[in-house]
Structure 1
Amino acid sequence: MKKWIVPCMIFTMLACAAARAEKAPSLWLNEPAPDFTLESAEGKKISLNQFKGKNPVIVAFWHPQMDVSIQQLKELDKVLKDKAFKDVKTLAVTFGKEVKDRDAARDAFKKAGLDFPLLLEKRTDASATPVEYLVSYLPAFFIIDKMGNLAAPPVSLVSEKINGKSFSSFLKDILAGKKVNACDFAPEPRTDEPYKNLFAMIGKPAPDFSATDTSGVKQSLSYYKGKRNVLLIFFYPGCGHCRRELPQLHNYNEKWAAKQGVQLLAINIDGSDAAQPEAVKFFKLFDMKFPLINQGKNAINEKYGVNSVPTLFLIDKKGIVRNVFVGEFAMPGDVIQCLAGKMK
């Protein structure tokens, strides 16, 4: 599924806000969606919880400067004209700290003929609604069921099929009480340069390595062979995408890793001594407890062909690469939990 990245200015705000957070937002399928109360364009306070027990809700994050946002909101409007969705409410959330932002949002809505409640997020810190929902691309449509639980990972394009189904069919399944399979939302393998060689590693033995973590413990992939599956995480502490994704992997580690026999190993691709204190500080900020490895001169990332972060490898107990993830993706905890659950 194609995704449109958040405009540079907005992404910077989200990344910086995430970096200032002292607790990782927790976002899990079939668990309560983060509540919020925002002011509408008419000055009315609207909260997500006011619909709990009454209506399913689609929370749509969008931006008036992005044509695709308006296009997909119009597609959503068409879908919701089906009588099957008469009880579904839509809340369209955009940034509205500045008067010009609020005016642009109102003008875009009026021109497009949209009449969804238009909610304005005026906060730019870690409490902002897009940060709570871990929004990394726009538009992003979150489906909240009648009981206030997050029913699916975010959808970017209403006009495209989701796992072979139209958005309308997908939404009908959710309204009928069918549970979403998080595995279906795992990023698809890429065939473009320079990523195709990474995905070509799927089904092949993962390269072994040996390095010392920040606790002084020697870590190697071969040590876990026959004992545990491994989630190998290449990151850099100055990477905004990494600073959002790793805390979510920390949540997975706390909730599922031990139950599924998965060992997380994080590798800071900047092996210099100067870079290590920042990585340690980042881990302490979110109380991440899985091993942090400074690759030093070992150049582990080169063995794996990694030249961008975050990049993840899910490796089974036999040492075989089962999945590769390049770049930040939605709901990583649920996706990894689903995929790891299929591994012996």
Structure 2
Amino acid sequence: MVHRFRVVLAALALGWTLAHGGDVQAQSGARKGWLGIGMDAPRDAAGVRVTKVMSGSPAQKAGVHDGDLLVRIDGTKVGSPEEVQRVVGGHATGDVLRVTVLRDGVESTLNVSLAPRPSRDEQNRLEFVGRPAPAWTKVDAVKGVHKDLSSLRGRVVLLDFWATWCGACRAMTPTLSAWQARYGAQGLSVIGMTTDGRDEAAAFAEKANMKFGIAVDESAATHRAYSISALPTLFVIDKRGVVRDVVIGYDPSHEAQIDALVRTLLAES
């Protein structure tokens, strides 16, 4: 599982087009419709399990819930995420699909009006901004990091998901180190989270002169909780533990905006 997770991240870093987490979205064409769910195929039931409904998505607005078993779309039985993608991908923005779900043993049919597919940045903001940052699971602190996010309450946190093989991550390292040096005493904690092994991460952090906390998520459980689909991905978390922004990729032109947001959050009571 962890190996496959790293392969997917590597592919995305190279710009390949892959669906992440079963999210139903058009693979091409701006007019294709978007449903906004994560899913898998359970072994003990006929249908497709909804693992996550994205906030603000067409599925959420129609009343689809996490844990629903999706059994039919417009009367067509579906038994795999690929089948759902194929059916939804054949419809355009604005089309209304009759989605039949099984919930607590009771079937119901919901009318879902498909929306345009948001960009990856927009999807992450829809899902996380304004909501409490997910708790960390099975995280191993390498240096300067507590094992749980709640221990950092009262501090502003820049949580950067990275990997040793990620060139953009390496390019971002000096900026992260500079932010830690500039604002650490004022209440900022910069933390790099990776699925690489502990020894590998520690050696790389030393070589790259990473002047901020490093944590290892070898099981990838925390990466999945944050819906990480590309590296680097930076979460800006305020003193209350609420996500205030999500930035995917590295673009030096965004540094001033992030710096300004950090200063604003540090000034909040």
In structure 2, the partner of 1:300 is 222
2:213 corresponds to which letter in structure 1? Answer: P
Counterpart CA distance in 1 for 2:177 and 2:255 is: 8
How far is the alpha carbon of 1:306 from its aligned partner?
Answer: 0.6
Change (3 A) 1:197 1:223: same
Corresponding residue SS for 1:207:
coil
Asked whether the 8 Å contact 1:229–1:315 carries over to 2, the reply is yes
Identify which of 189, 199, 207 aligns with 1:277: 199
Where does 1:287-326 land on structure 2 (aligned, <5 Å)?
287-297=209-219, 299-326=221-248
Unmatched segments (≥5 aa) in structure 1: 1-11, 13-190
In structure 1, the partner of 2:157 is 230
How far is the alpha carbon of 1:287 from its aligned partner?
Answer: 2.5
Change (3 A) 1:338 1:299: same
Are residue 342 (structure 1) and residue 268 (structure 2) matched? no
2:166 corresponds to which letter in structure 1? Answer: C
In structure 1, the partner of 2:179 is 252
Counterpart CA distance in 2 for 1:244 and 1:266 is: 13
Counterpart CA distance in 1 for 2:144 and 2:181 is: 22
How far is the alpha carbon of 1:212 from its aligned partner?
Answer: 2.2
Residues 162-183 of structure 1 show CA distances to partners (whole Å, capped at 9, x for unaligned) of xxxxxxxxxxxxxxxxxxxxxx
Counterpart CA distance in 1 for 2:254 and 2:207 is: 20
Change (3 A) 1:311 1:318: same
Counterpart CA distance in 2 for 1:236 and 1:288 is: 13
In structure 1, the partner of 2:24 is none
Counterpart CA distance in 2 for 1:309 and 1:327 is: 6
In structure 2, the partner of 1:198 is 124
In structure 1, the partner of 2:36 is none
How far is the alpha carbon of 1:235 from its aligned partner?
Answer: 0.5
Q: State which drifts further: 287-296 or 318-327.
A: 287-296
Corresponding residue SS for 1:213:
strand
How far is the alpha carbon of 1:263 from its aligned partner?
Answer: 0.7
Where does 1:57-96 land on structure 2 (aligned, <5 Å)?
none
1:220 corresponds to which letter in structure 2? Answer: D
TM-score, normalised by the number of residues in structure 2: 0.50
In structure 2, the partner of 1:242 is 169
Counterpart CA distance in 2 for 1:284 and 1:338 is: 28
Unmatched segments (≥5 aa) in structure 2: 1-13, 15-116
Asked whether the 8 Å contact 2:194–2:216 carries over to 1, the reply is yes
Asked whether the 8 Å contact 2:141–2:216 carries over to 1, the reply is yes
Change (3 A) 1:286 1:329: same
How far is the alpha carbon of 1:217 from its aligned partner?
Answer: 5.8
Corresponding residue SS for 1:219:
coil
RMSD: 2.5
How far is the alpha carbon of 1:194 from its aligned partner?
Answer: 4.3
Counterpart CA distance in 1 for 2:120 and 2:247 is: 14
Corresponding residue SS for 2:189:
strand
Where does 1:101-120 land on structure 2 (aligned, <5 Å)?
none
Corresponding residue SS for 1:196:
helix
Counterpart CA distance in 1 for 2:178 and 2:144 is: 24
2:174 corresponds to which letter in structure 1? Answer: P
Counterpart CA distance in 1 for 2:160 and 2:136 is: 14
Corresponding residue SS for 1:281:
helix
How far is the alpha carbon of 1:285 from its aligned partner?
Answer: 2.1
1:224 corresponds to which letter in structure 2? Answer: L
Where does 1:1-150 land on structure 2 (aligned, <5 Å)?
none
Larger Rg: 1
In structure 2, the partner of 1:286 is 208
Counterpart CA distance in 1 for 2:188 and 2:145 is: 18
Identify which of 136, 147, 159 aligns with 1:219: 147
Residues 129-177 of structure 1 show CA distances to partners (whole Å, capped at 9, x for unaligned) of xxxxxxxxxxxxxxxxxxxxxxxxxxxxxxxxxxxxxxxxxxxxxxxxx
Residues 188-243 of structure 1 show CA distances to partners (whole Å, capped at 9, x for unaligned) of xxx63544331111111111114221149642111112x20111100011111001
Question: How many pairs does the alignment contain?
Answer: 150
1:233 corresponds to which letter in structure 2? Answer: D
User: Percentage identity across aligned positions?
Assistant: 30
How far is the alpha carbon of 1:338 from its aligned partner?
Answer: 1.0
Change (3 A) 1:239 1:199: same
Counterpart CA distance in 2 for 1:213 and 1:316 is: 21
Counterpart CA distance in 2 for 1:209 and 1:292 is: 13
